[in-house]
Amino acid sequence: MKTLALVILAILFSINSQAQNKNVKSEVKTTVTTVKDSDGEKKTIKTQEVQEVQNIEFKDTNTNLLNKETKETPVEVIKTTKITENGITKVIDVDRSAYYNLNGVKYQVAADKTGYTVFFPKGTKAAVLRKTSNNNYIYRTKNNTSYGYFDTNGNLILETYDDKTDKVTYTKYNLIQK
């Protein structure tokens, strides 16, 4: 019994003495927007958190020097956006609200309560984007439903199945860089 207690005590002390092996930098930006109209006052709170995580690694791990030099390692950036509107909080991993170009026409994608809304250039609603469980989107217009996702460059890619030709067509909305 004494041996078991000593082993558990040794494990607890060894876990506590672990050194930190990451540099973490976190920045939070909160924007509060208040809109007054005939229905009253609506408040929207948008919180953006950017966290930069960098592993700490030594240049020469086999030397007996007390003060060792660290080497540059890649920085992983994690962005999280939370939007609170009418008491409902929605978490967006990456906010895809932006302007997109398709065949010379500029479309706006804006976040809403359940996903995104796509607007024509004159501000009328063109479609909705709803997130699925596998991090993709359902793109729904009045008479069409497509499967959508964002590529590594932030462009919106839609895949639409055509019953008549039994083929899948690809449509690419190019992200307009600011």
Which pLDDT does position 8 carry in this prediction?
Answer: 74
| Total Cβ atoms within 10 A of residue 134 | 6
pLDDT confidence of 19, banded at 50, 70, 90?
A: low
Which pLDDT does position 44 carry in this prediction?
Answer: 87
pLDDT confidence of 18, banded at 50, 70, 90?
A: low
Taking only the tens place, the pLDDT of each residue in 48-63 is 888 887 878 888 777 7
Query: Average of pLDDT values for 143-155?
Result: 85
Taking only the tens place, the pLDDT of each residue in 128-144 is 999 887 778 999 998 88
Inter-CA distances, 149 with 60, 89, 117, Å: 43, 23, 14
Q: Is the pLDDT of residue 178 over 80?
A: no
- For the entire predicted model, the pTM comes to 0.51
Lowest average pLDDT, out of 5-19, 66-80, 109-123, goes to: 5-19
Tell me how far apart the alpha carbons of residues 25 and 15 are, in angstroms, rounded to a whole number.
Answer: 24
Q: Is the pLDDT of residue 96 over 70?
A: yes
Q: Is the pLDDT of residue 161 over 60?
A: yes
Residue 107: which residues within 8 A CB-CB, separation 6 or more? Answer: 99, 100, 101, 118, 119, 120, 121, 126, 173
Q: Is the pLDDT of residue 162 over 80?
A: yes
Q: Is the pLDDT of residue 15 over 70?
A: no
